[in-house]
Amino acid sequence: MKRRRPRRRNTRSTAPGTHLPVLLDATLAALAPRPGETHVDCTAGYGGHACALLRAVGPTGKLIVFDLDPAHLARTTERLAAIGHPFVAHHLNFAGIAQALAGERVDGVLADLGMSSMQVDDAERGFSYRRDGPLDMRMDPTRGRTAAELLASIEVDELEAALRELADEERAAYLAPKIVAAARAGLLQRTGDLTALIERESGIQNWRLRPSAGQWQTHPAAKTFQALRILVNREIANLQQLLRMVPFVLKPAGRVAILSFHSGEDRLVKAAFRDGLRQGIYDAISEEPIRASLAERTENPRSRSAKLRWARRACSF
């Protein structure tokens, strides 16, 4: 009689890539944090980048972290405190960086514009098309309209433009009226409702992230969820404000690094850095975005769409 092999226990408590900071080595190379410097992490998230920066600046330096999500900030503060070096934490949107620093100049600024895995993994936050929960999507759940509330009042042409411009959704003209009609009928209260509608309209069944080795497939609802999250949290306006303010909070030769995850964000960062170079605000910028290696994309699927751009403030500005 053929003996069965014992089933291998899954010792991983999370999916591959969970909580891994995206492009960590490239980010540290761009910011070049040194002992005694002051750096800002505008989007602390789980704290992967923040912890690396805090260790780099050491006990004589300082890290300042922002996060709009109060739950994130509390957990990340605990992780930073365990390192034992000086840091300051603010429950704040990075658009308010100048007011928070109150005239203080810093050596480096980092903004990771991607979603935190903790937010995606929490179904109650409503960010994931793969987990059923309330259709919320607010980074700060204590204020603002939810995604369900936004969809109930948005006009079709406004949603169509958002899908196209914020998420490169090719089916924007087809999906927008379907989504708005369902929302106004009270049929889109949960993430599962919206995901099911898009899957039905797209004719996609048995979706898989990795249909074959070395290949990834985008879920048909991914772009819609991305556009809605950006709308709910006013992410484009906040990024534009950050890009305007960064030169005024950096010391001479200070560095800024920004990780973006869709073409709209990357275009804004690219244009701001190139304009700054032409105006003499920056004396060096990354000419092309830095992308994750195949090994990192395999280990951490979040890194697949990431683009890192950096700039260095001119000493004469």
Sorted by where each begins, the domain ranges of the chain are 24-117+236-313, 140-232
pLDDT at 10: 34
- Closest Cα to residue 63, out of 86, 83, 43? 86
pLDDT at 14: 37
Q: Does the pLDDT value for residue 213 go beyond 60? A: no
| 72-77: Cβ within 8 A, 24+ apart | 72/44, 72/45, 72/46, 72/116, 72/118, 72/119, 73/44, 75/46, 75/47, 75/118, 76/44, 76/45, 76/46, 76/47, 76/50
- pLDDT, the chain, mean: 89
pLDDT at 13: 35
pLDDT at 206: 62
**Is 140-232 a CATH 1.10.150.170 domain?**
yes
Task: Assign 183 a pLDDT band (cuts: 50, 70, 90).
Answer: very high
Q: Does the pLDDT value for residue 4 go beyond 60? A: no
> How many whole angstroms separate alpha carbon 29 and alpha carbon 25?
6
pLDDT at 22: 94
pLDDT at 244: 97
Q: For 20-43, what is the mean pLDDT? A: 96
- Cα-based torsion angle of the residue sequence 65, 69, 73, 75 in order, rounded to the nearest 10 degrees: -150
Q: Does the pLDDT value for residue 204 go beyond 70? A: no
pLDDT tens readout for residues 225-271:
999 999 999 999 999 999 999 999 999 999 999 999 988 899 999 99
Portion of the chain with pLDDT greater than 70, in percent: 90
Q: Does the pLDDT value for residue 32 go beyond 50? A: yes
More confidently predicted of 34 and 210: 34
- Tokens 């591959």 correspond to 16
More confidently predicted of 74 and 9: 74
pLDDT at 216: 60
> How many whole angstroms separate alpha carbon 312 and alpha carbon 257?
9
Least confident piece of the model among 30-34, 137-141, 249-253, 255-259: 137-141
pLDDT at 78: 95
**Is 24-117+236-313 a CATH 3.40.50.150 domain?**
yes
